Amino acid sequence: MRRLFIIGRSSILLIILAWTLSAGEVLAESDASRSAVPINRVPTSAHGERRLALVIGNSAYQFVQPLKNPNADATLIAKSLEQVGFSVELVLDANQLQMKRSLIAFGKALRRDNVDVGLVYYAGHGVQAQGENYLIPVDAALDDEDEIDIEAVRVNSFLQTMNDSKAGINIVILDACRSNPFASSFRSLSRGLAPVEAPAGTYIAYSTSPGRIAQDGEEGGNSPYSQALAEAITVPGLSLESVFKMVRRNVIKATGSAQVPWDSSSITGEFYFSRQESPGPPVKDFPAPVPSPEVKLAPGISTFSRTDPPSISATSVGKAIFYEERTATKQGSADPGNVIWSLVQESPGGDLPREPAIRAEATIPGKNFRLRMTFRRNTDKTLPASHIVEMIFLTPDGFEGGGVDNILRVAMKSSEQDAGSPLIGIPAKISDGFFLVALNDAKADEDANLTLLRSQQWFDIPIVYKSGRRALMTLEKGSGAEETFQEALQAWAQLSIMAAEPADAPKKLQERLSNEGDIPDRFHEPVQVLPPTDDASASRQPPPKTPFPIDDLLKSLK
């Protein structure tokens, strides 16, 4: 039913006067909002894509409880996005008009410049009403729940704007569940946000699960979610899904499981915030290593993970540091990088079913140097080893060291500066850049190795170039990797219950490696293989601290 309203002349005059009195305020507000209109042309990023982000942070609420950190969170995320090639429009303490103008300008730029990747990040108050999600401007004043459509901005407005563009990938990140700022008597307003089905080609990330409250963080700092997100999006080589898995793990850890980030996706393609790129000649992907003719590999090793791609179920990131010793002609160096840890499911060889393995992918961008290291349970009964460590090194064409010629004892330690305790086992060179470490399967040795893997936080991997120069790759487990190691170790323990261990394992291991020739040239330090003992309680001295090459190498850098 239509209703007609008749307005007299006096009423018209009052309306005109009211508009005149407020015109200056309205125009000033409009001018203030035009900082986001129009958006400059979006250039092609170094990743070969046009990337555009609208980042909004609302802290200074006028009529409801202000928030401590959304402005700082938005600024942090904006800087991180710029680092990975996004053109960023940052809007702080936006009123309703500013939010809507910014969204309109954002949509125009998406369409005008044929943007490949569009992203919206919002930090501030957000509520759900009757299953609909709303973002709250700083000037929102709700006296009644029916005013939510007038005072707030629908999340669907952002989704529709992005869906109307030609962007191949749209990402919406809502750090907007910090509390319900309105009266509890507003029956239709619920805490947290409601789950939304992502439109085609869209990834929606929430700072916490539906209907839950996200933490704002300490005053003057950042929220747990924005801290985790800013770190994850700048890690090279992480896919979109892996970024938010890493964020989820780190937020759960930081909040003691009180906050669990959540997402909804209809993405079918691949997207990387930061691709695995580095200066200099391109590095080939990890190949299937070809053993040297004189080395006979057991079937379980030769067929390992070559035809059946692994399934990755967990990801975390740590630091990597690459040291090179000083020589008569070259200065010592220390180059930073990162290592991505994952729990993979892959066959240990032959027709055996998949089982957990720990995978590390380390990258040193300044050297164009990469390492893939995999820890797996040994299932080859002819090889007396409890576990196998596989290492594949990749170096660019023209690498000054000529390639990796040898590895020494792998050690583990509690911190970067500590001396390491070596894993007990024997390393062997299979071919250039491809090495295996057979970890001793004597019960005491196996227990010592598993204790190190479980409790220590850093790995030291001493290597020797073909030129003779020594180097050291130091890897941190990093946040989240503890769960990866624990899950793998528990699975290995269960799988090993059914496996019989030969009593003469150390002897067979020594004989096998001795028969493969030229053992002294492969190992730069002696390895003591202890005979098995029937006394499970027999005392053992702890593994010695790693001698020479690491301590000497680090001293040479000073």
Q: What is the pLDDT of residue 307?
A: 37
Q: What is the pLDDT of residue 366?
A: 82
What is the separation of C-alpha 331 from the centre of its chain, rounded to a whole number of angstroms?
33
DSSP run (H or E) holding 342: strand 333-346
Helices vs strands, H then E, count in the chain: 13, 22
CA distance 98 to 121: 15
Of the candidates 530, 538, 516, 524, the residue with the CA atom closest to the CA atom of residue 465: 524
Tell me, yes or no, if the pTM score tops 0.75. no
Tell me the pLDDT band of 465, cut-offs 50, 70 and 90. very high
Mean pLDDT of 195-217: 84
pLDDT in tens, 485-527: 888 888 888 777 655 444 444 444 444 444 433 333 323 333 3
pLDDT in tens, 97-153: 999 999 999 999 999 999 999 999 999 998 888 878 999 999 998 877 788 889 999
Residue 403 CB partners (closer than 8 Å, separation 6+): 393, 395, 432, 433, 465, 466
The verdict on whether omega for the bond into residue 38 sits within 30 degrees of 0, i.e. cis, is yes
Q: What is the pLDDT of residue 46?
A: 74
Spell out a b/e string for 214-227, using b for 16 or more CB atoms within 10 Å of the CB, else e. bbbbeeeebbbbbb
pLDDT in tens, 371-430: 999 999 988 878 889 999 999 999 888 888 889 999 998 999 998 878 889 999 999 998
Mean residue pLDDT across the chain? 77
CA distance 249 to 147: 38
Q: In the structure encoding, which two tokens stand for residue 121, read together?
A: 């990040």
- Measure the CA angle with vertex 244, ends 238 and 249; round to 5°: 105
Of the candidates 198, 200, 211, 208, the residue with the CA atom closest to the CA atom of residue 131: 211
pLDDT of 300 > 50? The answer is: no
Residue 288 CB partners (closer than 8 Å, separation 6+): 306
Q: Say if CB 391 and CB 434 are below 8 A apart.
A: yes
CA distance 54 to 40: 12
Strands 385-394 and 369-377: antiparallel
CA distance 488 to 344: 9
The secondary structure of residue 515, as a DSSP letter, is: T
pLDDT of 182 > 70? The answer is: no
Q: CA separation (Å) from 557 to 299, 414, 475, 550, 553?
A: 42, 22, 18, 11, 7
CA distance 486 to 493: 11
Q: What is the pLDDT of residue 483?
A: 82
For the chain, percent of residues with pLDDT exceeding 70: 72
Higher pLDDT, 13 or 316: 316
**Cβ of 538: how many Cβ atoms within 10 Å?**
9
The secondary structure of residue 36, as a DSSP letter, is: G
Strands 153-154 and 189-190: unpaired
pLDDT of 472 > 70? The answer is: yes
pLDDT in tens, 223-233: 999 999 999 89
Which of 314-318, 477-481, 509-513 has the largest mean confidence?
477-481
Rounding to the nearest 10 degrees, give the CA dihedral for residues 441, 447, 453, 458.
Answer: -100
Alpha-helical runs (H) found in 324-464: 443-455
Q: What is the pLDDT of residue 82?
A: 95
Mean pLDDT of 61-72: 91
Structural domains of the chain, ranges and CATH numbers in brackets? 38-265 (3.40.50.1460), 299-525+549-557 (no CATH)
